[in-house]
Every structure is written in structure tokens, then in C-alpha cells.
């Protein structure tokens, strides 16, 4: 949450609720909706670390609001973030640990685990398809997010198939 908030502040000063709305509008309904409380906590941490500066703004007939702006250090952190590639693939996969440990424990069947995980992925894919159909057609970022998630799910489904084939060869 830290770096996406900094990136939004690179456009100019904003307050926490504006940043929440900007994230929701940009990423659409497929992305988990950010909690405004979490945003304000994160903004406080960013301010304490010198990446942003807050300023109280008076409002007529309403409580003051605090707007935040990026510092030079914060702008450099955003530049660094954009330059750094993300680590993938997921080598630490919780499902794979279950699959690997199941035979040693006698508490779960590997094929049953694969089938259950497959159903979960297919349900998630169906839900994402519904979100894609309901999402505003003009929000290309949200559609790309959904498409990326679906492609990852398809790869995971293919991998589950491969796991099942490998286990069946061992029998």
C-alpha cells in the first residue's frame, strides 16, 4: 500500500479519502477495496519516514482536513519502485506445501487436494468473469487486472493438471 499511495501523490497533493477513491476508480471492483483507516495509518508512517509531508487545510463549517504531498525523498522512492522488477514466480506456495506434505502425514489425499484446489480456482475464475462483464468498459486498467488474474489462474489450473499427471504416474 505504501508505494501505490506515494505514486498517486506524485500527481499532486491529496487527502486520504481522495487517495482511496482514486485507487478504487483506477483498479475497479476486482481489486480488494482499500480500507480508509489503513490508508491513513500508512500515510502517517510515510510522513514519519519523511517520504511525504502533511498540511492541515481549513474548511469552512467543517473540520480541517490534512492533505499530503510527496517529498523529494518520496519521489525518489517512487522512481526506484518503478525501476525495480518484481520477484516471481511464487516458489513459496502454500498449496504446494500441502500437496508435498500430505503423503507424509496420512491426513490428506493428494488427488483430493488437487481437485479441491481446482474447484477453488474455477470458482474464482467464474467470479472474475462476472466482474469483467460488470466492470466499466472504459476502465482498461481494471480489465487488464482481471485478465492478468485470469491468466494466472489458467496457468495454475494447467500446473494442477501436471501435478495430477505426475502423481498418477507414480502409482
- Give the separation between CA 59 and CA 133, rounded to whole angstroms: 40
- Give the separation between CA 158 and CA 147, rounded to whole angstroms: 16
Beta bridge partners of 68: 14, 54
Q: pLDDT by residue for the chain (171 residues), tens digit each?
A: 899 999 999 999 999 999 999 988 888 877 888 888 999 999 999 999 999 999 998 888 888 889 999 999 999 999 999 988 877 667 677 888 898 888 888 888 999 999 999 999 999 999 999 988 887 778 889 889 999 999 999 999 999 999 999 988 876
> Alpha helix (H) ranges present in the chain?
2-9, 16-27, 36-48, 72-83, 94-105, 110-134, 140-170
Residue whose C-alpha is closest to residue 28's, from 113, 120, 139, 160 = 139
Beta bridge partners of 62: 59
Domain layout of the chain by residue ranges:
2-83, 94-170
Residue 150, Cβ density class (10 Å: 0-12 exposed, 13-18 middle, ≥19 buried): middle
**Could you name the CATH architecture of 2-83?**
Orthogonal Bundle (1.10)
Tell the residue number behind the cell numbers 501523490, with chain if given: 9
Which pLDDT score, from 0 to 100, does residue 89 have? 66
CA end-to-end distance (rounded Å), the chain: 46
Which pLDDT score, from 0 to 100, does residue 154 have? 96
CA distances (Å), 150 to each of 31, 32, 114, 124, 135, in order?
13, 16, 18, 9, 15
Which pLDDT score, from 0 to 100, does residue 16 have? 93
Does residue 166 have a cis bond before it (omega within 30 degrees)?
A: no
CB 130 within 8 A of CB 29: no
- Give the separation between CA 152 and CA 92, rounded to whole angstroms: 16
Amino acid at each position: 500500500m505504501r508505494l501505490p499511495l506515494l505514486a498517486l501523490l506524485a500527481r499532486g497533493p491529496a487527502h486520504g479519502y481522495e487517495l482511496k477513491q482514486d485507487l478504487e476508480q483506477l483498479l475497479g471492483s476486482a481489486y480488494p477495496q482499500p480500507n480508509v483507516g489503513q490508508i491513513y495509518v500508512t500515510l502517517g508512517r510515510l510522513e514519519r519516514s519523511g517520504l511525504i509531508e502533511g498540511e492541515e487545510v481549513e474548511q469552512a463549517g467543517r473540520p480541517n482536513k490534512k492533505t499530503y504531498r510527496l517529498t523529494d525523498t518520496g519521489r525518489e522512492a517512487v522512481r526506484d519502485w518503478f525501476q525495480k522488477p518484481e520477484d516471481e514466480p511464487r516458489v513459496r506456495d502454500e498449496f504446494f506445501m500441502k500437496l508435498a506434505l500430505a503423503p507424509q502425514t496420512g491426513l490428506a489425499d493428494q488427488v483430493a487436494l488437487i481437485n479441491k484446489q481446482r474447484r477453488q480456482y474455477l470458482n474464482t475464475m467464474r467470479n472474475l468473469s462476472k466482474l469483467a462483464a460488470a466492470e466499466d468498459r472504459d476502465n482498461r486498467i481494471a480489465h487488464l487486472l482481471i485478465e492478468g488474474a485470469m491468466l494466472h489462474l489458467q496457468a495454475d489450473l494447467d500446473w494442477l493438471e501436471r501435478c495430477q499427471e505426475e502423481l498418477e504416474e507414480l502409482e
